[in-house]
Amino acid sequence: MADIPAIEKAYQLGRQRYSDIGVDTERAMTRLEKIAVSLHCWQGDDVGGFESSDGLTGGGIMATGNYPGKARTADELRADADKAFSLIPGKHRFNLHSIYAETAGKKVERNELAPEHFAGWIDWAKQNQIGLDFNGSFFSHPKAASGFTLASNDPAIRKFWIEHGIACRKIGAAMGKELRTAAVTNIWIPDGYKDIPVDRKKPREILKESLNEILAEKFDKKHLLDAVECKLFGIGSESYVVGSHEFYMGYAMENKTLLCLDAGHFHPTEVISDKISSVLCYFEEILLHVSRGVRWDSDHVVILSDELQAIAYEIVRGGFLDRVHIGLDFFDASINRLAAWVIGTRCMIKALLIALLEPTGELRQLEQSGDFTSRLAILEELKTLPFGAIWDYYCLKQQTAVSTDWIDEVKKYENDVLSKR
């Protein structure tokens, strides 16, 4: 268990160190506390959802691993999420997919989903005083088996998915209204070709039309914020993805939706940290899917990597905290699923804290005056300042587990709850 006097002592020393370089640690923590990260429900059950018992995924989304204890029902998923939230400092959000509907054992097609199928989730969110975000699920479905949904040239298939998109926006708006915080409702579709297509144009024209139909109805922005998510390639869509970056960048700009940047959806050496300040020259708000690409997989558990840190720096340095919706998107079935949530979210918050502890004003001045030597030297020295002491103290103040203490709690939960599933 954490040694509280030692943490407090370390904090006092750390606070002094930061104060010496002109950084107010209290201020950083006060700002951090207000940042809500949206935890993605799908880490809890490998993107399975509750539609059927086979839990098969499709559309190039694949969780690998068979760690025992995954959530099989909404109640189990909520219990796991409650546990994860208790081990993460601050107040956050929860991001649902339509396949997590609760239909009381009745088969409800995705184009017939309605807010009532999410009443259980909304009640839970109310009780926990958290906001919800939402996603249409255009994959893992017989009508997505061809690899095409909204860009399909089969009118019946396309109609089905358009209706699904429309239904999902209504659900998102209802969530936002009930919870008094806009639900960011995201559209990602897997549509694309494994091998080189002849016609790259037509599917994009069809997708544009489909999106227009989905987005035709206007909702109050206080309840619903629409987002569209691009991807470079997926498993089975290696050669061509209809919803590319350029496609959605243009679409979102023209139609005033949010643009979603997923950290794993670009070329391996291309980073979203560099895109944030570019797209925010044109967009009011954006959505991030913070993830970690590893070779051909776009969804490894988020760690405190250079790129995660760069993303956090960009958000904080740019003054973008109110314009960037930070969502997480990863799934790993090879480790304790709840631990994956806790690891990834704690890393995201840590990265934001480190960014908030930067003496950015001074660095900016050095840069403007052309003193790149000092810029580099200070940036490197900052890396070994005692941010860990501030982080531990922040966790303590937020009444959540400090340092590795949360691991024992997860193990206990695994033993008492997960192992019995």
Residues catalogued as catalytic:
188, 229, 231, 262, 265, 289, 297, 299, 329
Among Zn ion, ligand RNT, none, what binds residue 298 when CB lies within 5 to 8 Å by partner kind?
Answer: ligand RNT
Instruction: Identify the residue among 117, 275, 289, 337 touching Zn ion (CB under 5 A).
Output: 289
Instruction: Identify the residue among 43, 210, 273, 298 touching ligand RNT (CB under 6 A).
Output: 298
| Number of residues lying near Zn ion (CB under 5 A) | 3
Cβ atoms 341, 383 nearer than 8 A: no
Rounded to the nearest whole angstrom, what is the least distance from the CB of residue 228 to ligand RNT in the complex? 11
* CB neighbour list of residue 159: distance below 8 Å, 6 or more residues apart: none
* Phi, psi angle pair for 40, to nearest 5°: -85, 125
Q: Is 171 in the site for ligand RNT (CB under 6 A)?
A: no
Single-letter amino acid code for the residue at 236: G
Among ligand RNT, Zn ion, none, what binds residue 61 when CB lies within 5 to 8 Å by partner kind?
Answer: ligand RNT
Q: Is 299 in the site for Zn ion (CB under 5 A)?
A: no
Rounded to the nearest whole angstrom, what is the least distance from the CB of residue 192 to ligand RNT in the complex? 11
Among ligand RNT, Zn ion, none, what binds residue 231 when CB lies within 5 to 8 Å by partner kind?
Answer: ligand RNT
Instruction: Identify the residue among 51, 133, 262, 285 touching ligand RNT (CB under 6 A).
Output: 262
Cβ atoms 7, 335 nearer than 8 A: no
For the chain, the straight-line distance linking the first and the last C-alpha, in angstroms and rounded, comes to 28
Rounded to the nearest whole angstrom, what is the least distance from the CB of residue 173 to ligand RNT in the complex? 19
Among residues 59, 63, 41, 40, the alpha carbon closest in space to that of 50 is found at 41
Helix, strand or coil, per DSSP, at residue 219: coil
Residues 325-384 that bind Zn ion (CB under 5 A): 329
Instruction: Identify the residue among 51, 262, 314, 332 touching Zn ion (CB under 5 A).
Output: 262
Q: Is 251 in the site for ligand RNT (CB under 6 A)?
A: no
CA 212 to chain centre: 25
59 sits in the region (left: phi over 0; alpha: psi -120 to 50; else beta) called left
Token pair listed for 85: 């939230």
Residue 343, classified by CB atoms within 10 Å of its CB into exposed (0-12), middle (13-18) or buried (19+), is: buried
CA 262 to chain centre: 8
Q: Is 275 in the site for ligand RNT (CB under 6 A)?
A: no
Token pair listed for 417: 């709850």
Q: Is 42 in the site for ligand RNT (CB under 6 A)?
A: yes
- State how far the Cα of 41 lies from the Cα of 133, in Å rounded to an integer: 10
Stretch that binds Zn ion, among 109-117, 140-148, 287-295, 368-376 (CB under 5 A): 287-295
Single-letter amino acid code for the residue at 12: Q
Q: Which residue, chain included where needed, has tokens 């009532």?
A: 116
**Residue closer to Zn ion, measured from CB, 25 or 38:** 38
Among residues 213, 125, 119, the alpha carbon closest in space to that of 162 is found at 213
**Residue closer to Zn ion, measured from CB, 289 or 292:** 289
- State how far the Cα of 55 lies from the Cα of 73, in Å rounded to an integer: 12
| Number of residues lying near ligand RNT (CB under 6 A) | 12
Instruction: Identify the residue among 15, 177, 289, 325 touching ligand RNT (CB under 6 A).
Output: 289
Q: Is 231 in the site for ligand RNT (CB under 6 A)?
A: yes
Rounded to the nearest whole angstrom, what is the least distance from the CB of residue 340 to ligand RNT in the complex? 14
Which residues here bind ligand RNT, judged by CB under 6 A? 42, 47, 61, 135, 188, 229, 231, 262, 289, 298-299, 329
Instruction: Name the residues that contact Zn ion, by CB under 5 A.
Output: 262, 289, 329
